[in-house]
Amino acid sequence: MMTTATAMMATILSLAMMILATAISKKNNEDREKSSPFECGFDPKNSARLPFSSRFFLIAVIFMIFDVEIALLLPMPITMTTSNTKAWMLVSSAFLLILIVGLYHEWNQGSLEWSN
């Protein structure tokens, strides 16, 4: 009971301090100098916002997805020795099947083609 009351008081005190700090801070989000790009104190000649290739972004996202999945695949051989062999084979096969189907889908959609 005492631990719960202490935790609730700590939470309430923390929230009160954060709300108070936000209320009295002098932060101005719409500052022209902070939102403009820095070019040695001069006004920029042209826009610093260059067009972004959505194709590159799509390939980067696909790479990140498959990179995380590879990180999940690496411990599979190690866990084979400590788990049930049939269950391990079922889970590993299902995971690899999902990866292969996903790769095939991305390849079929043309998402892996760099130039179009």
Q: Tell whether 21 is covered by a domain.
A: no
Residue 77 belongs to what domain range? 54-109
Q: How far is CA 68 from the centre of its chain?
A: 11
Q: Tell whether 81 is covered by a domain.
A: yes
Predicted TM-score (pTM) of the model is: 0.49
Q: Tell whether 78 is covered by a domain.
A: yes
pLDDT digits (tens, 9 = 90+) for 25-82: 876 666 666 666 665 666 666 666 677 777 788 888 888 888 888 888 888 888 888 8
Q: Tell whether 25 is covered by a domain.
A: no
Q: Tell whether 102 is covered by a domain.
A: yes
Q: Tell whether 47 is covered by a domain.
A: no
26 secondary structure, DSSP code:
-
How far is the C-alpha of 101 from the C-alpha of 107, rounded, in Å?
10
Q: Tell whether 29 is covered by a domain.
A: no
- Interior CA angle at 40 toward 38 and 42, to 5°? 85
Q: Tell whether 80 is covered by a domain.
A: yes
The structural domain count of the chain equals 1
pLDDT at 94: 93
